[in-house]
Structure formats: C-alpha cells, structure tokens
Amino acid sequence: MQYRKLGHTDLEVSLIGLGTMTWGEQNSEAEAHQQLDFALEQGVTLVDTAEMYPVPPKAETQGRTESYIGSWLAKTKRRHDIILASKVTGPSDKPQRPKHIRDGHTRLDRKNLTAALESSLKRLQTDYLDLYQLHWPDRNTNIFGDMVYPWAGEPDTVPIEETLAVLQDFIRQGKVRHIGVSNETPWGVAKFLQHAETSQLPRIACIQNAYNLLNRQYETGLSEFSHREKIGLLAYSPLAMGILSGKYLASARPEGSRLTVFGRFTRYSNPQVDAIAADYIALAREYDMKPAQMALAWVNQRPFVNSNLIGATSLAQLQENIASVHLTISPELEAAIDQLHARQPNPAP
C-alpha cells in the first residue's frame, strides 16, 4: 500500500480508501466485517462512511452502514488502526435528497450538526472521528451532475462561517480531528479557506468529489486548490458506478449490480457515456490491463489525489480494486487516455 498526507495535515491516509455505501443494502453486516478485515490486511487505513448510508437512502436503513462499522470496532478493538471518516447530510430541499433524516431538518447549523455528529459517534461506537465532512453544500449550487447554475434565492442558507464555528467546537471537544467538504465547487472551497484565515476558524483538509475517466471536472477548477492550498482530493466513484469495469457494456445490466438494482443512478446513463466507456475498456485490454484496474490506477497517479475511495460488493472485487495500487500507467497509455478524453470530455459531470 502507498500512503499520502491528508491535505495540509500530518495525518497519513492509504492511497486506496474503503468506501462503504453498499453496506446495509447490497452487503450484510458479516460481509461488511469481511471487507474491513481484508482491506486492513492489504494496508488500507482510510474508511469512509456517512450518516446517510447505505444508498439509496431510505428511512428504514439510514445509519445502518455506520452501525456495521461500529459493531466491527466493538468486536475487533481496532479503532486506532483506521482513519475513520464520516459525513453529515446537507439540506434536503431538492428531489432525490433524503428527507427522512432529522425529519428533513438538515441545514448545517449548530443544532443539526451537533445532532448528526452525536448520532454518528454512537452508531460507530467511537469517541471521535478522524475526518468529518459536509456531504454537500448548504447553499443552492450546481452539484451531482447539474450543469446549469441555479439562479434562485435561498433565504435560509446557513453561512459558511457559522458552520465552521460549530466544527471548531467539535475539534476543541476532541470529537473531530480534521474537517473536509464534499461535492463542493471552487467558489465554496475559496470561501471555506477565506473564513478560516480571516476568522481563525479550522481549515478544511480535503474535498470528496466524483473523479474518474468520465468526469475529470476536478482538474479544471479545483485541482489548483490542491496544488497551492494543499486541499487533497478524496476521489469517489472512480469506476463511475461500475461503468468503467466493463460489466455494463452494450447496455448489459447484470443481476444484482448497482445500476440494475437502483434506478436512481442516472449520472452515468447517456449515449455519450456508453460510447466512450467502451473505448476506455478497449484501450485497457489493448494494454493487457483489466478495465477496472486501469481506471483506478489512473486515478491513483493523479498528484492531487490523497485517497481513491473504492467500493465493492464482493471480496473478489475488493481484491482486484486494491491491487490497482501496484499498477503504473505508462506515458504512452496516459497519452492515449488523454486523446479519448479530448474527443469526448466529461460525458458524466
């Protein structure tokens, strides 16, 4: 395993991080524990979860993922062997965003942040989180694949400075070590950094955004923050919901797969994605690489990536995904990848 510093902090995280959003829906508690055991054997230290998980978010399963991690921690007593990260749910005022958590009161204010953190710590059976992230912005902006900026008012938005002040108290209380954002924009990252500097508030260490061969938007507006401000990327959906593994080629929908079970995932469903994904998969095979491993190895080599968050529903998938850390994308292969990207850039933003 390789390790990288988390943003500006002294905390080292594994280059491959363990995503958990299937635990409690597609994976049982026993399977979640098996994945944790195996991942740690391979040197994985970063475990990423969220109060909203598993996905798709439902009232009857909400928090189950954190509970599975908590029961593993209670059983194994290995809290100090992992870097534990969770996320607080953002506002629920748009379609497909969960409205069952705290009865839809999920603004990033003191009351809701406190309730969220205390509940997560209880489910996780721990006294602290190594990293606490804001799952998505409190304000109205274009995220989750929205291409058009919403020119709409938002009188109830919680100011970023107010949210940071609450997170500062969590750090002082010893309940959170570091903080981060997720599904953020360049404007948002700039404002978090501005308030940290001008108001002596905690500085975000990282941003968790989608990043893969079909969605390289991070490179355009956010990667410079990684370079100049040491805001590391925790890359989620590095296989584009499995599209880049090849299992959905020619509109295939294998039984039990994520896109088969959950119709809500439409971010990677369009003709442009299907066509260029087939080209990436063919390119991997041309270079005698498994398509999933090529896609993951490419993410691993990006200098702004602190950790590549993989998710798997089987130990075989997990083993293949973790093994990507040992692969290298040659300059020739990288050039070929860039040629495909230039032909069809970001078909799944």
> Hey, is 212 helix, strand or coil?
strand
CA distance 265 to 296: 20
Q: pTM of the full predicted structure?
A: 0.95
Please report, in tens digits, the pLDDT of each residue of the chain (349 residues total): 999 999 999 999 999 999 999 999 999 999 999 999 999 999 999 999 999 999 999 999 999 999 999 999 999 999 999 999 999 999 987 777 889 999 999 999 999 999 999 999 999 999 999 999 999 999 988 888 888 888 877 778 999 999 999 999 999 999 999 999 999 999 999 999 999 999 999 999 999 999 999 999 999 999 999 999 999 999 999 999 999 999 878 666 767 666 666 665 667 778 899 999 999 999 999 999 999 999 999 999 999 999 999 999 999 999 999 999 999 999 999 999 999 999 999 999 8
- Show the beta-strand stretches assigned E in the chain: 3-5, 12-14, 16-19, 46-48, 83-88, 129-134, 176-182, 206-210, 232-236, 305-310
Q: Of 3, 53, 68, 218, which is the active-site residue?
A: 53
SS3 content of the chain, % helix, strand, coil (to 5): 40, 15, 45
Beta-bridged to residue 180, according to DSSP, are: 133, 206
Question: Mapped to the 3 state alphabet, what secondary structure does 237-290 carry?
Answer: CCCCCCHHHCCCHHHCCCCCCHHHHCCCCCCCCCHHHHHHHHHHHHHHHHCCCC
Using DSSP, state whether 95 is helix, strand or coil.
Answer: coil
Task: Classify 69 in phi/psi space as left (phi over 0), alpha (psi -120 to 50) or beta.
Answer: alpha
DSSP 158-204: PPHHHHHHHHHHHHHTTSEEEEEEES--HHHHHHHHHHHHHTT-PPP
53 carries an active-site annotation: yes
Give the start-to-end residue ranges of the domains of the chain. Answer: 3-240+302-327
Q: Name the pairing type of β-strands 232-236 and 305-310.
A: parallel
* Distance in angstroms (rounded) separating the CA atoms of residues 5 and 70: 25
16 pairs with which residues across the strands? 308
Superfamily name with CATH number, domain 3-240+302-327:
NADP-dependent oxidoreductase domain (3.20.20.100)
Report the DSSP pairing between strands 12-14 and 3-5: antiparallel
CA distance 291 to 281: 5
User: How far apart are the C-alpha atoms of 98 and 277, rounded to whole Å?
Assistant: 30
Nearest to 16 by CA among 327, 225, 335, 243: 327
Q: Which positions ≥6 away from 252 have C-beta within 8 Å?
A: none
